[in-house]
Chain A
């Protein structure tokens, strides 16, 4: 029943809205070719498991079609789909031994006993568990249980094998081994694999095609190389691999300004466009301070086995660099990026994101000005002790150095004033760029701290004007990273 397109499964405009109104999956479109290894990648709650469950039949799309070999199966119950699943926590039947677990599907098909015995034996060889037939589930290690779960699904010779974070419960070493084995199994059997994971490395290692998801929507579909080298948006860039992401603006043909420096790039984006620039840590070269496009001070060096991870503070930006050569903490360095090391994306919306500090008084502050924000509400499980210090869940005093908090604010929520002595002014800067956007002007303000802010304002200001920025704290969104 081969159809012309060679697609084994097609998902068309799949939407899934839960009973409480939560949109788990929105307008999901995907084509999977026979024999492909496709991975759904995204953070928890991004809808990847829900999508998988709809393919398996445990969940029904609110709207949309799921075509298997061109036939709509979205209303079929799971037992009538030629698809088998490897569950997250294996879901082996505890009241059956290994043989009975694996034979479960075959027995339901009323296959002759002798044939079942042969098939089970063969699939146990495939997963490297020869002779385990009579063992009980509880005597197996996590890795072995995982192999049984894979065998139990594969023995039914499904057209598609679904794997829901199958390696999540295994330790790192076991996981690496299983990744290689799974990939080998896929190549050997030629069955289509659809794999769900939140581990980007796992996805990059094993997949033919990766579907990056966030908040129920597909962010990008592509080969691992595409996704890594040409991320479509800041989310993908941030999620896949380590990257330095800067907001910036095009200042000329193949010229971009970001991170407080001027760079040449290879993407031809019209002048004045607001952009997001992605620079992979391995694409930044450390130079003498005067030779770099930007300069900064080394604040940490961590040896990672094959390279050093060097963090450089450049103005307000923390730049992460991977280099085979070490650097001295505290030294001044320059940083250089070749044009092809810069990936420019047109910024859809230009939220200003900037790091804020927790100061000595254990209050949130930026540019030495305290915010009227409750840190105990911001940091889950925290509370203050009698010295007004902030304690975490375990009751330890939180070290301001060890917590990273970023604030985000929309360009239209920032106000500019020429009265720089105004109490409300958070930071001063100079207008370095302006573009007319039809109904408002979009300004780039270089601040004295090296942090650029994008501000939308309906009034015309001049290039080079010194302005004070007023950022209403109630419009800021804070995120905490430890």
Chain B
């Protein structure tokens, strides 16, 4: 057999088939069958009619939204200030923000738990707040990095052009810098929002016993209800796809506004 570039792709093809495509097919199979292996959409209707799952969905969304908003609120100013400053030590400071990621996740959350316990007395008083704090702490770097990268690449003369044309500092930011950093914000949100929906380990460790989507799926599988669990995972996957499409669409539209507006 002649060796070609395609040959190099074979291991990846095998990998993708075994670990991405096949599991997805299995997921589909379980989601749309019942215990007897017959096709059914009952799992799907169950998902949307069961007050339990719907409640968990709402709670997960609430945690994820709050976490994302909080991350964005903290990350944007940090990223903006660092990206626009003339500091030579910029990359060092960014590294310091990112460094906690190199420390084991459970150790970090345990440390946070101790601090929160010391402040609140008992973690059970504010389970929602604690979970949001834990996740914000955990996901913050994922929000800072993409925003920082976007702003740092912006041409400084764009902001200067806005100033030159009569915009004061605030308006130049609102009309030029902010809209142009949207791609960074979007990728930051997608890095934080979706994991925040499912990362139940944070909740577990902070003694928040309320289920979120991740723990819900886990509970189905530990109760050997593979069909229900698969359906929840599939619905979640649907949400992710929908969100990603929306985000991409938003960016496309940004690029197209040239033709569309006015």
A binding-site residues for B, Cβ under 8 Å: 56-58, 77-79, 83-85, 87-89, 91-100, 104-105, 108-109, 133-139, 152-153, 156
Contacts and interface: CB of A to CB of B under 8 A. Distances in A.
Given A58-B160, A79-B165, 18 more contacts: A79-B163, A83-B164, A84-B165, A91-B158, A91-B160, A93-B158, A95-B180, A96-B258, A98-B258, A104-B165, A104-B175, A105-B165, A105-B166, A108-B166, A134-B259, A136-B255, A136-B257, A139-B258
A196 B157 CA distance: 16
Contacts of A87: 157, 160-161
A443 B153 CA distance: 58
A393 B256 CA distance: 43
B103 interface: no
B154 to A, nearest CB: 10
A134 B166 contact: no
Interface in B40-78: none
B261 interface: yes
Nearest to B180: A95
A135 B261 CA distance: 10
Contact of A108 (B155, B169, B171, B256): B171
A57 B179 CA distance: 24
B261 to A, nearest CB: 6
A124 to B, nearest CB: 14
Interface string B172-192: 000110011000000000000
Contacts of B179: 95
Contacts, number: 90
A153 B165 CA distance: 7
B131 to A, nearest CB: 36
Interface in B168-217: 168-169, 171, 175-176, 179-180
B164 A79 contact: yes
Contacts of B261: 97, 100
Contacts of A77: 163, 168-169
Nearest to B159: A91
Contact of A135 (B158, B165, B259): B259
B167 interface: yes
B254 interface: yes
B161 A134 contact: no
A97 B257 contact: yes
Interface string B6-29: 000000000000000000000000
B152 interface: no
A281 to B, nearest CB: 39
B157 A78 contact: no
A224 to B, nearest CB: 28
A429 to B, nearest CB: 52
Nearest to B157: A91
Given A91-B157, A91-B158, A134-B262, A56 B164 contact: yes
Interface string B100-132: 000000000000000000000000000000000
Most chain A beta carbons < 10 A, residue from B165, B176, B258: B165
Interface of B: 155, 157-158, 160-169, 171, 175-176, 179-180, 254-259, 261-262
29 contacts: A57-B164, A58-B164, A77-B163, A78-B160, A78-B163, A78-B164, A79-B164, A79-B168, A85-B164, A89-B157, A93-B162, A95-B179, A95-B180, A95-B254, A95-B257, A96-B257, A97-B257, A97-B262, A100-B262, A104-B165, A105-B166, A108-B166, A134-B259, A135-B258, A136-B258, A138-B255, A152-B161, A152-B165, A153-B165
Contacts of B162: 93, 104
A138 B168 CA distance: 26
Given A89-B157, A91-B155, A91-B157, A97 B258 contact: yes
Given A94-B180, A95-B254, A156 B259 contact: no
Nearest to B169: A77
B258 A137 contact: yes
A444 to B, nearest CB: 51
A85 B164 CA distance: 7
A135 B167 CA distance: 23
Nearest to B161: A91
A85 B179 CA distance: 22
Contacts of A58: 160, 163-164
Contact of B164 (A84, A97, A109): A84
A230 to B, nearest CB: 36
B262 A109 contact: no
Given A95-B180, A108-B166, A85 B161 contact: yes
A79 B257 CA distance: 26
A58 B161 CA distance: 10
A89 B157 CA distance: 8
Contacts of A135: 258-259
B258 A108 contact: no
Contacts of A152: 161, 165
Contacts of A153: 164-165
Given A152-B165, A156-B165, A136 B256 contact: yes
Contacts of A156: 165-166
B163 A134 contact: no
A451 B236 CA distance: 85
Contacts of A109: 166
A105 B168 CA distance: 11
A134 to B, nearest CB: 6
A97 B157 CA distance: 18
A83 to B, nearest CB: 8
B157 A93 contact: no
